[in-house]
Amino acid sequence: MNEAVLVLEQVRTPMAGSPHVLDVDLRIAAGEFVALVGPSRSGKSLVIELAAGLVRPEAGRVVLLGHEWNDTPESEQTPVRLRVGTVLQQPGLLSNMTVFNNVLLPLRYHRGAMSDRDRAQAVMAELERLGLSALRDRFPAELNHGEVRRAAIARALMLDPEVLLLDDPVAGLDAELVLVLKRHLEERRAHHAMTVVAALRAPSPFIEAVDRLLVLRDGRVVADGTREAVVGVVPESLRMYVA
Amino acid sequence: MIEWVGRKTIAGYTYLASLATLFTQAVLDLVLPTQQGRRDTLWVLIRQILFTGVDALPVTTVIALLLGIIIVTQAGTQLPRLGAGGLVGGIIVVTVVRELGPLITAFIVVGRSGTAIATELGNMSVTREVVALRLMGISISRFVIMPRMVGMVLSMLCLTLYFDVVAVLGGYLVADVQLTIPFYAFVESITKALSTTDVLMTAIKGLSFGSAVAAICCYHGLAVRSSFTEVPQQTTRAMINSFVLCLLIDVVVTVPLYL
């Protein structure tokens, strides 16, 4: 098995808005495409936030790309963050920047040596692949939910991350765009080893692309394995999330 | 009661320590050069100077002129009647250049730009733009706080000096009809009374007020957590605390001069 890029070791932490406590112990190997599925308030978003180092667990440790978040002060987190692309439930596109400038920002900030032309080309190529090139000059307030999400995913991919953390990447996308996104991530992974961890709220064709499914309920992993393996073991009430 | 006083004192010190930390980090970001995001940071800085400094010129001009008219008229008409016409320059320099110029400029900047910064950062916090920047490895201090702070300090300094000039000279020109002192005598009286200490004092106040207002407004903007209703609450706190801290700094800077 490949080396683990994300480890949540005996992690326990309260879940906001739920009487349950997230209690997970999991390892995600380099290059894996993992989907976290389950009903609302099952702890999927919290796992993404823990992995991104935004939440410190009450107990246990979270290690991403060999760095334990608890031991990494804020000032030393940048090198890790540059290797990780994250899109949260609220994607946080900068409201005073156009789609183009939002997607360009990580390149302009971190890749000073790149020429303006190369950066612009890279951004346009990414926008093109995600069907956003016509919206390049729009501001986030002028976009619909799915467009905002795709722009945020494009931004998260600009630095060629080794790990991509996505919270509800298909929210607001129609069936065709889900397939566009799925194909795009598959192409990316074919060219460049990238671990993807995605939290999914509803059944989606996106799930066909994943290597491994983690089914969560009330803060616990109730099934873990390939889609075929998980379908056979999840309780009936959760089967809709993996079907 | 003692417990309450203790709690409030600790909260006050913690608050000031947080402002000092924010300010120190911004200064470090300014003086420690890095190639990362220089152009973006510069762009934020230029926009801040345009908004806080350049866009504030009309309102600063109007307020400085009105205040100048009041003070120059009062000093220029009352003092000669009391046989203290020679003190006109001194009184105007002390009142406008040392005190009211920096203070009123600070109040204008707090009202226009301080509240705008607190609101902008508050909204950015609620919409998770601040978190998104962090996740992209973009330093909040370098990209968000430092350029706003530098922009505000430079703008405050320039606006303060501009305010002083407009209030003193503009005030005279507008109030000219009521005065018995000729213009050349007025200017001579001002230049005689104006010392390096006065100019230094107005500059120190401009710089300190700018730093304090920027730190407070950034702090309160970023203190917003999860709801848009927190934004006006934090903005109000930022405004009130800015006024109080500016007055406190004014006392700390002014009083030792007379000891």
**pLDDT tens by residue, A122-179:** 999 999 999 999 999 999 999 999 999 999 999 999 999 999 999 999 988 888 899 9
Residue B176 has what pLDDT? 66
Mutate to test the interface with B, among A84, A98, A109 (most CBs of B within 10 A): A109
C-alpha separations of A165 from A69, A195, B131, B232, B244 in Å: 15, 8, 14, 33, 45
Predicted complex ipTM:
0.91
Write out pLDDT tens, residues B78-99. Answer: 887 888 777 877 888 888 998 9
Residue B77 has what pLDDT? 80
Q: Is the pLDDT of residue A1 over 60?
A: no
Q: Which residues in chain B touch residue A110, judged by CB atoms under 8 angstroms apart?
A: 36-37, 137
Q: Of B124, B127, B131, which has the smallest distance from its Cβ to A54's Cβ?
A: B131
The residue among A162 and A72 whose pLDDT is bigger is A162
Q: Are A47 and A2 in contact (CB under 8 A)?
A: no
User: Cβ of A109 and B138 within 8 Å?
Assistant: yes
Average pLDDT over residues B55-68: 94
Q: Of A52, A84, A92, which has the smallest distance from its Cβ to B127's Cβ?
A: A92
| Domain residue extents for chain A | 4-83+165-242, 98-160
Q: Is the pLDDT of residue B174 over 70?
A: no
Q: Of B38, B136, B139, which has the smallest distance from its Cβ to A105's Cβ?
A: B136
Cα(A30)–Cα(A195) distance, rounded to whole angstroms?
6
CATH architecture of the domain with range A4-83+165-242: 3-Layer(aba) Sandwich (3.40)
Residue A240 has what pLDDT? 81
Lowest mean pLDDT among A118-127, A132-141, A180-189, B233-242: A180-189
C-alpha separations of A233 from A38, A197, A204, A241, B251 in Å: 14, 21, 20, 13, 73
